[in-house]
Amino acid sequence: MITKLVLLCLAAYIIGSIPSGLWIGKLFYKKDIREFGSGNLGATNSFRVLGVKAGSVVTVIDILKGSLATLLPFFFLPQLDAHFMLLTGVFAIIGHSFPIFASFRGGKAVATSAGVVLAYAPLLFIAAIVVFLLTLKISKYVSLSSMVAAVAAFIISLFMGDVILIVLITCLALFIIWRHRANIKRIRNGEEPKITWM
């Protein structure tokens, strides 16, 4: 069983490592998004560099990466406690942030983290998405909206009675904020780009 779990974690990392923004940019737009905008491989830079259509596709793929990886124990080791789903989900997040297919230089983990939450706690996912969209509508900053949604997910998780989920959401919120430290600086300096499509 341990061997199977290790293999599932490895599979989750590989799934998370799929650089959707990079591959879609190169395949359909002949662009390496690492050379434009923030240089990030995530959904936000995909929106900025490739446009709304491509950015939306990248976002969906990155969310599905997290969900699929989280569900691996459910499908292949259903006898395990459900919390092991969070373990494989974490490996997908690591893969997304440090992808083996893109020189370990990946995205900021927001969409893939959302995918993990979607698979494990759908209501929490919906609540976080609502907070994200409301903040985005008001601020026009994707980065700020991502951080606010992460903090909101943490606060909401405190009322769910799942200690392991709370620990994970706490770590994810801190990690997402840390990954956005450059964005925080740009927001303070009035240099962070705002979206124009909402």
Cα 183 to Cα 193: distance, rounded to the nearest angstrom: 9
DSSP type of residue 193: P
What is the pLDDT tens value at each position of the chain, 198 positions in all?
899 999 999 999 999 999 999 999 999 999 999 998 778 888 888 988 898 899 999 999 999 999 999 999 999 999 999 999 999 999 999 999 999 999 999 999 999 999 999 999 999 999 999 999 999 999 999 999 999 999 999 999 999 999 999 999 999 999 999 999 999 999 999 999 898 877
Global confidence as pTM = 0.95
Other residues' Cβ atoms within 10 Å of the Cβ of residue 3: 7
For the chain, which residues make up each domain, given as ranges? Answer: 2-188
